[in-house]
Structure 1
């Protein structure tokens, strides 16, 4: 399954027993549809994601980054300490594709920029030796 959304907070790396590391992050996906009455309804779905392949990806999974994820989705339910029932969606991520970055305060673009973007081609100088 593929989902596209924005990272809701900076990713965290957790070290588990046996020195296994997992990158945990969450994303929000947006969807819209028309109701029976013809009104446009916006819906946001949140996924708690886990990525086991490389902890280095946490450096670029910053809040606001647009990502496309491939993997498996699962649902979980639990009873909170207050006795309330809760539910959530997990996404076991096998592949991450970056679609956009987050701008820093001074207008710089972070390393989360789309990998397919290429640097501007420089024009050759007029004073060529051949």
Structure 2
């Protein structure tokens, strides 16, 4: 049986997405997402903890993120957790863990920009017509589970 690598997050964007355009016109967006959790300590005081997640979106999702997502906006993200390594400026090996988004849904009210909300009925063309608050990345053929 194959393993399962699925992450579901609901949180707020820590910054506007940064989008890069690679060779061949491939777009990649990067941004941070804050999720909050709370618990009571031994004294009964409420303690809130914020976890920061690095999010990466590719191709059509990256273009959607660039166009519609803004700092502070609440989003739902489904994706896979990935750890990759790279060499820093001092030639030291570093590791970064990130969530590679497969789906992004905008939650809450209208962002500060002119992005769509759940109430808007505008259609956005991605791989198929979907309401603009939900965007999915189509799997590549080598990612199919069969």
> Under a length normalisation based on structure 1, what TM-score does the superposition of the two structures give?
0.68
C-alpha offsets along residues 9-49 of structure 1, whole Å, 9 cap, x if unaligned? 11121122333211111111111112233221111011111
What RMSD, in angstroms, separates the aligned Cα atoms of the two structures? 3.1
Equivalence map 1:14-93=2 (5 Å): 14-54=20-60, 55-57=62-64, 58-75=66-83, 89-93=97-101
Q: Which has the larger radius of gyration?
A: 1
- Map of 1:5 onto structure 2: 11
When structure 1 is superposed on structure 2, of 15-24 and 5-14 the one drifting more is: 15-24
Q: Judging changes above 3 Å, is the alpha-carbon distance between structure 1 residues 7 and 17 closer, same or farther for their aligned structure 2 residues?
A: same
Contact 2:56 2:99 in 1 (8 A): yes
Compute the displacement of 1:56 (Å): 2.5
Whole-Å Cα distance in 2 between the matches of residues 74 and 24 of structure 1?
Answer: 14
Contact 1:69 1:94 in 2 (8 A): yes
Unaligned stretches of 5+ in structure 2?
Answer: 1-6, 122-146
C-alpha offsets along residues 92-122 of structure 1, whole Å, 9 cap, x if unaligned? 1000011023346xxxxx3243x2x268xxx
Whole-Å Cα distance in 2 between the matches of residues 35 and 73 of structure 1?
Answer: 30
Compute the displacement of 1:73 (Å): 2.2
Unaligned stretches of 5+ in structure 1?
Answer: 105-109, 120-130
Whole-Å Cα distance in 2 between the matches of residues 111 and 37 of structure 1?
Answer: 44
Aligned with 2:39: secondary structure? strand
Alignment of 1:111 with 2:115, yes or no, is yes
Q: Could you say which structure has the higher helix fraction?
A: 2
Compute the displacement of 1:69 (Å): 0.1
